[in-house]
């Protein structure tokens, strides 16, 4: 890979392809990949590759430039495929302990007392403990702002059979089984960026763990864990810590200070770029003067003692921070011994300084490399035999031991995805983990069109949206529906509603020009409208805030066209009394004259307008409906009926001079 420092070697071994594991240690400065396989109890490294990032694309274990990091991972994948002679599609990975949170919890489950405890029982018990850990973490963060946390690993502190502690449940019989675990959680952003890198490199994660979990799996064997020990993995961006006691791993921690902080003062002291300063730092463990090239292109030499003097204060800061975290995780007391792994542990005087700070014998702070790893067969002339090659082996062995615990396979819209399987997952969470665009779930109604029609606000509503339809295994579901391993989710995307639109013609009377006889003279009326005070064209599109006035053929409008005012006039339409607001139709005969009430007529007031009614033996309230355009079969609200200010009945008698109110009241 152009611009990357590489290191590789392979073992001429032909393992069963199904047993081969591919593991990646994606570090702040380097990426290490190995393939290996189990042969009995022995793990054999088949091939390995290491490359440095071309620049500072990661900080404190967090991926900042996903495409650049993915490019390095893809190159390592390609090299290992050549060495192994097969395609690598699945990989085990580990995350740095950035923003790490730990939860310690215990669960119990009833068991058939006459049946031996099997592997499936143990797995179910541990998954129940993980769900409990999730629940407790959510409880401590209730009401707090922040992103979701994912479980990236767990260790069993102890198993219980009928309240008796045992090291292994398998084969025992009992009525009650239990497990106490320490579960570790990382923010979604850390995990998602790691997944994004793998996806770009064409890789599928089969197991995700935490770097200190992986390192301690091989650096401190289970038989050592009865002792109170600490392990420190000093990388480039973070220093990860794990504590053992009473046969278990009891605590994890992380500090965001490591090798990069030591590299920076070397840059300042010797005026070199970061990659050159890294080479100088690695050369400190060698004897003799160090040759380097500065940013001016000049070749120089420097004694290791001079470099150590330049980094003295930063090294003390690193030791102070790491030792403080160890003491806090270990209850304020120093451990019996400390095992150091990771490239940063090679720095001269580091172990001695850590021993002094923890106040333990300096022989009890040691660097662990691959030569100390039990049941691990490495490569001849292994360039990664040092402490920097330990964690990636642990990533592989943890994956082989625990593969399938943390993931479930779910198919979403035809594509298969690996999701965490450590607590109850619903459709919403599954879609969130694959970064499904939430805009495809909830449709947006079309925008309404609001304008003024004949002096009152009028609204033309936009089309309603159709929200997404969700199916789980071909059954209707919703965002809260549970998802299980092997389920298939189909999301039919939401459709957006169209914005409302209208033209002037939509509000004009349907009929064309009508003929009207007004006070004995023939006249006509054509549909007319004004838009914002000017003549309105029927095809004109209405815009929000427009003012549209549609002139309909009411008695009052026809009279105004003829230059007559209807106020205090007698109005008859087709020989019957009518209101000035009455709408007339084609062929209507309108008569308007000065009030001259006939003996067989009586005058009332309807909605504030005078109206002449024919005198009958008995006129009742419902008779007034003949003079109003009110269709009770199509309600437009609540029908208000009042007689002289009081509620009226349909059959109530009315007399001359009565005041009647009759109208729809919007709800």
Q: How confident is the model at residue 420 (pLDDT cuts 50, 70, 90)?
A: low
The average confidence (pLDDT) of the chain is 83
- Say if residues 475 and 527 touch (Cβ distance below 8 Å): no
What's the average model confidence in pLDDT over 91-120?
A: 80
Burial label for 147, CB within 10 Å (0-12, 13-18, 19+), is exposed
Dump pLDDT digits (tens) for 613-644: 877 778 888 888 877 777 777 777 788 899 99
Q: Residue 222 in 3-state DSSP?
A: helix
In sequence order, what are the beta bridge partners of 549?
530
Dump pLDDT digits (tens) for 503-562: 988 888 766 778 888 887 888 877 778 899 888 888 899 999 999 988 778 888 888 877
Which of 1.10.10, 3.10.20, 3.30.70, 2.30.30 would CATH assign to domain 502-596? 3.10.20
Angle subtended by helix axes 274-283 and 259-270, to nearest 10: 110
Residue 37 pLDDT more than 50? yes
Dump pLDDT digits (tens) for 111-136: 777 778 877 677 778 777 877 888 88
Q: Residue 328 in 3-state DSSP?
A: helix
The pLDDT, as a whole number, for residue 143 is 40
- 657 Cβ contact list (under 8 Å, min separation 6): 603, 604
Percent of the residues in the chain that have a pLDDT greater than 90, as a whole number: 26
Residue 41 Rama label (left phi>0; alpha psi -120 to 50; beta): alpha
Greater confidence, 552 or 661? 661
CA 343, CA 240: separation in Å to the nearest integer?
Answer: 12
Strand order in the sheet with 514-518: 521-525, 514-518, 589-594, 569-573, 576-577
Fold entry, domain 411-492? Ubiquitin-like (UB roll) (3.10.20)
Find where tokens 């039990």 sit: 374
Cα-only R_g, the chain: 42
CA distances from 93 to 23, 72, 213, 394 (A): 6, 15, 12, 10
Which CATH code for domain 597-667? 3.10.20.30
Residue 12 pLDDT more than 50? no
Residue 103 pLDDT more than 70? yes
What would be the CATH architecture of the domain defined by 94-405?
A: 2-Layer Sandwich (3.30)
- Six token digits for residue 130: 């993980």
CA 451, CA 362: separation in Å to the nearest integer?
Answer: 85
Contacts by 552-556 with C-beta closer than 8 Å and gap 24+?
552/509, 552/583, 553/509, 553/514, 553/516, 553/525, 553/583, 553/584, 553/585, 554/580, 554/581, 554/582, 554/583, 554/584, 555/579, 555/580, 555/581, 555/582, 555/584, 555/590, 555/592, 556/580, 556/581
- Six token digits for residue 467: 């929200």
Residue 645 Rama label (left phi>0; alpha psi -120 to 50; beta): left
Residue 359 pLDDT more than 90? yes
Q: Residue 14 in 3-state DSSP?
A: coil
In sequence order, what are the beta bridge partners of 51?
6, 31
What's the average model confidence in pLDDT over 239-260?
A: 86
In sequence order, what are the beta bridge partners of 572?
577, 591
What's the average model confidence in pLDDT over 250-274?
A: 88
CA 555, CA 560: separation in Å to the nearest integer?
Answer: 9
Greater confidence, 335 or 192? 335
- Six token digits for residue 75: 């190159």
Dump pLDDT digits (tens) for 425-439: 778 767 766 667 666
The pLDDT, as a whole number, for residue 478 is 85
Residue 405 pLDDT more than 60? no
The pLDDT, as a whole number, for residue 17 is 47
- Say if residues 477 and 470 touch (Cβ distance below 8 Å): yes
Question: Where in the chain is CATH 3.10.20.30?
Answer: 411-492, 597-667
The pLDDT, as a whole number, for residue 538 is 84
**Degrees to nearest 5, angle at CA 413 with 408 and 416:** 30
Greater confidence, 433 or 179? 179
> Distance between terminal CA atoms of the chain?
73
Dump pLDDT digits (tens) for 182-212: 888 878 778 888 889 999 999 988 888 888 8
Question: Where in the chain is CATH 3.30.420.40?
Answer: 94-405
What's the average model confidence in pLDDT over 462-485?
A: 87
Residue 324 pLDDT more than 80? yes
The pLDDT, as a whole number, for residue 530 is 87
- Say if residues 399 and 209 touch (Cβ distance below 8 Å): yes
Q: Residue 351 in 3-state DSSP?
A: helix
- Six token digits for residue 35: 């393939």
């Amino acid at each position: 890979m152009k611009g990357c420092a590489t290191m590789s070697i392979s073992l001429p071994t032909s393992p069963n392809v199904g047993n081969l594991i591919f593991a990646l240690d994606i570090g702040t400065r380097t990426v290490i990949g190995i393939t290996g396989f189990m042969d009995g109890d022995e793990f054999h490294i088949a091939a390995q590759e290491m490359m440095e990032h071309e620049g500072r694309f990661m900080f404190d274990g967090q991926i900042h430039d996903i495409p650049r990091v993915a490019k390095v991972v893809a190159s390592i994948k390609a090299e290992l495929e050549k060495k192994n002679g097969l395609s690598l599609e699945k990989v085990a990975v580990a995350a740095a302990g950035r923003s790490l949170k730990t939860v310690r919890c215990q669960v119990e489950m009833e068991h058939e007392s006459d049946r031996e405890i099997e592997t499936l029982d143990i797995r179910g018990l541990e998954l129940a403990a993980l769900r409990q850990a999730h629940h407790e973490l959510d409880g401590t963060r209730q009401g707090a702002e922040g992103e979701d946390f994912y479980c990236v690993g767990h260790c069993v502190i102890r198993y219980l059979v009928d309240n008796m502690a045992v090291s292994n449940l398998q084969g025992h019989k009992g009525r009650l089984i239990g497990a106490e675990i320490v579960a570790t959680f990382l923010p979604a952003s850390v995990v998602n960026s790691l997944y994004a890198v793998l996806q770009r490199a064409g890789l599928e994660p089969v197991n995700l763990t935490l770097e200190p979990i992986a390192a301690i799996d091989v650096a401190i064997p289970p038989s050592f864990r009865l002792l109170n020990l600490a392990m420190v993995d000093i990388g480039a961006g973070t220093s990860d810590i794990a504590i053992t006691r009473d046969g278990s791993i009891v605590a994890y921690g992380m500090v965001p200070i490591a090798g990069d902080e030591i590299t920076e003062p070397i840059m300042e002291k010797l005026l070199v770029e970061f990659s050159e300063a890294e080479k100088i730092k690695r050369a400190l463990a060698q004897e003799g003067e160090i040759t380097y090239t500065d940013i001016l292109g000049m070749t120089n030499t420097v004694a290791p003692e001079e470099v150590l003097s330049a980094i003295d204060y930063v090294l003390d800061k690193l030791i102070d921070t790491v030792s403080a975290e160890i003491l806090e995780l270990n209850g304020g007391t120093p451990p019996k011994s400390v095992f150091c792994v990771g490239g940063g542990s090679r720095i001269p005087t580091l172990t001695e300084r850590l021993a002094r700070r923890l106040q333990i014998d300096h022989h009890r702070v040691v660097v662990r490399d691959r030569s100390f790893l039990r049941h691990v067969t490495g490569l001849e002339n292994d360039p990664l035999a040092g402490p920097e090659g330990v964690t990636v082996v642990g990533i592989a062995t943890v994956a082989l031991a625990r593969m399938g615990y943390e993931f479930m396979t779910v198919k979403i819209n035809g594509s298969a995805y690996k999701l965490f399987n450590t607590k109850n997952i619903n459709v919403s969470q599954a879609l969130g983990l694959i970064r499904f665009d939430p805009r495809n779930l909830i449709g947006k109604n079309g925008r309404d069109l609001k304008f003024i029609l004949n002096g009152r606000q009028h609204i033309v509503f936009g089309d309603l949206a159709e929200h997404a339809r969700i199916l789980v295994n071909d059954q209707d579901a919703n965002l809260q529906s549970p998802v299980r391993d092997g389920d298939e989710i189909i999301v039919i995307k939401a459709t957006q509603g169209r914005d409302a639109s209208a033209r002037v013609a939509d509000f004009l009377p349907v009929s064309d020009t009508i003929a009207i006889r007004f006070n004995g003279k023939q006249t006509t009326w054509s549909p007319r409208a004004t838009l914002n005070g000017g003549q309105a064209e029927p095809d004109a599109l209405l815009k929000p805030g427009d003012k549209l006035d549609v002139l309909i053929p009411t008695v009052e409008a026809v009279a105004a066209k003829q230059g007559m005012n209807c106020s205090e006039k007698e109005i008859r339409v087709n020989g019957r009394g009518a209101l000035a607001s009455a709408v007339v139709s084609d062929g209507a005969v309108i008569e308007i004259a000065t009030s001259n009430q006939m003996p067989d007529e009586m005058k009332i007031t309807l909605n504030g307008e005078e109206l002449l009614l024919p005198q009958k033996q008995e006129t009742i309230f419902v008779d007034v409906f003949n003079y109003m355009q009110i269709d009770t079969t199509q309600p437009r609200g609540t029908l208000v009926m009042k007689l002289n200010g009081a509620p009226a009945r349909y059959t109530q008698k009315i007399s001359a001079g009565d005041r009647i109110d009759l109208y729809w009241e919007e709800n």
